Amino acid sequence: MTLKLPKVIGHRGAAGYAPENTIASIRAAADLGVKWVELDVKLTKDNIPIIFHDDDLIRTTGVAGLVAQTSYADICELDAGSWYAESFIGTPIPTLEEVLDVLFELDLGLNLEIKPCPGREKDTAEIAIDYLSRIWDERDNLLISSFQHVSLEAARDLAPDMARGYLIGGSLPDNWQEMADYLEASTINIGSRLVTPDIVEQVMDSGRPLLVYTVNDAMEARRFQQMGVDGFFSDMPDVILENLVKSH
């Protein structure tokens, strides 16, 4: 299956312009002309998949507490926008289901990152994939990614026809190619600090697209593009889009 990967994917929606992982952020990304967004999914205490990044609620809601110990009813009471700007006061934390409706409305592709709370690597993947498989018919504009191998294994076993992105953070493991093969990964997604001409060449040799996060500097994006990087995750996707070298 060939993915319709764009050059730039909006990171957590368009996190440079609206509170991350919210419907406001997704709409901001669409307004900027973005074709895909990247969003994080994790489970509430009562196993509702929500779009949220951290294990703890404090950074984006101002309320201390772990997502894994908070019910969906209590999550609904939280404000995930006022930390960002006054104009976003009252912005809710959306569910995966709510977000999928908006993505369909706006005709956006999705990179869904399985971002499990500790110990919920398998459950988070299984519940999110179950939702997706019932609703998302197209397979060329959907990518499931995770740093957690257990989550990607679960995704592979449950929905082998959904493309998977192998996310790599701190350093490139020696056995990354074996892991990518084992997980049947469609893309390699690495942090910008890891990008070197050698690593780009290694990934290109593996025949997989290389996606790099989180790139907000236009000159850095152009430099990476010249090395052969295929795509970028950005909080300010319009800035990167405007400055990439157009392919003829």
Phi, psi of 122 (to 5 degrees): -75, -45
Neighbours of 226 (CB within 10 A): 11
Question: Does 247 have pLDDT greater than 90?
Answer: no
pLDDT tens per residue across span 18-62 = 999 999 999 999 999 999 999 999 999 999 999 999 999 999 999
What band does 248 get if pLDDT is binned at 50, 70 and 90?
Answer: very low
Q: Name the amino acid, one letter, at 134.
A: R
For residue 113, give the 3-state DSSP assignment: strand
- What local confidence, expressed as pLDDT, does residue 2 receive? 84
- What local confidence, expressed as pLDDT, does residue 232 receive? 98
The residue whose two tokens read 């406001």 is: 24
Question: Does 168 have pLDDT greater than 90?
Answer: yes
Mean model confidence pLDDT for the chain: 96
Q: Annotated active-site positions, please?
A: 11, 53
Round to whole Å and give the CA distance between 164 and 36: 15
Question: What average pLDDT score do residues 163-169 get?
Answer: 97
Round to whole Å and give the CA distance between 144 and 165: 6
Round to whole Å and give the CA distance between 61 and 57: 6
Q: Which CATH architecture does the domain made up of 8-42+107-243 adopt?
A: Alpha-Beta Barrel (3.20)
- What local confidence, expressed as pLDDT, does residue 170 receive? 85
Round to whole Å and give the CA distance between 162 and 42: 19
Residue ranges per structural domain of the chain: 8-42+107-243
How large a percentage of the chain has pLDDT more than 70? 99
Model-level pTM?
0.98
Chain Cα centroid distance, residue 39: 4
What band does 98 get if pLDDT is binned at 50, 70 and 90?
Answer: very high
